[in-house]
Amino acid sequence: MIQISALPAFTDNYIWLLQDHNTQRCAVVDPGDAAPVHAWLAAHPGWVLSDILITHHHHDHVGGVDHLKNATDAKVYGPASETIPARDVALKDKDRVSVLGWDFDVLAVPGHTLGHIAYYHHGLLFCGDTLFAAGCGRLFEGTPEQMHTSLSRLAALPEDTLVYCTHEYTLSNLKFAAAVEPGNRDTTARLEKVTAQRAAGIMTLPSTLALEKLTNPFLRVDETSVKEKVDERNGTQNRAPSAVFAALRAWKDKF
């Protein structure tokens, strides 16, 4: 059985650590900083870092790769269309990789960056900065249409899928979600719970796709309540889902 833990990095990043206790081999996802990984390995003698999974090229996701590669000779996986340091295996949509004995499907999810990928193993999703708990990533390179398509693709995965995103943005995202849907009881309840968790220093991840579908406005662009709020703010009507998404993302950028 593989255990998944979070190694906090910077102010709000999580480096996901996958541990195979049978072999004492481990893997990390998006190590923007090598120090937390080195510290964990030093505290767990006998463990070997064998794999590094990268979702996209931003420095807070790849900054520790070179150090870790040099220190451990781990195999580095990353998107084929982006510049990833020390990458050994270039991945594109619908590829499959085996890490610690688990098969992961590679999903192209452009939007935050053009080459962004996610890794899916039944019940588990490592989605980088595409889907967040109650939110989604900013559009630094892609279009609203691309991001809407990417989020729709992730939302089509089984509802019990655990969502391992890479930032602790849940509280601020839920405050926005509550502004979009003030009458959404699920959002209100989640906001109350997460407020208490963060006050106690408790992490809010992973989420589930079922919970995201109930409370994440970026996955709810087909909902009447969301469309009406966008129409109310923008003075328009009958928007296509991708246009509703675009309006929401623009609103969130200034929220």
User: ω into residue 206 within 30 of 0, thus cis?
Assistant: yes
> What is the set of active-site residues?
56, 58, 60-61, 112, 129, 167
Token digits of residue 127? 């989605």
- The whole-angstrom separation of Cα 188 and Cα 192 is 6
Neighbours of 110 (CB within 10 A): 23
Strands in the chain per DSSP E: 2-9, 13-20, 25-29, 48-53, 75-79, 89-91, 96-99, 102-108, 117-121, 124-128, 131-132, 135-136, 162-165, 207-208
- The whole-angstrom separation of Cα 77 and Cα 171 is 31
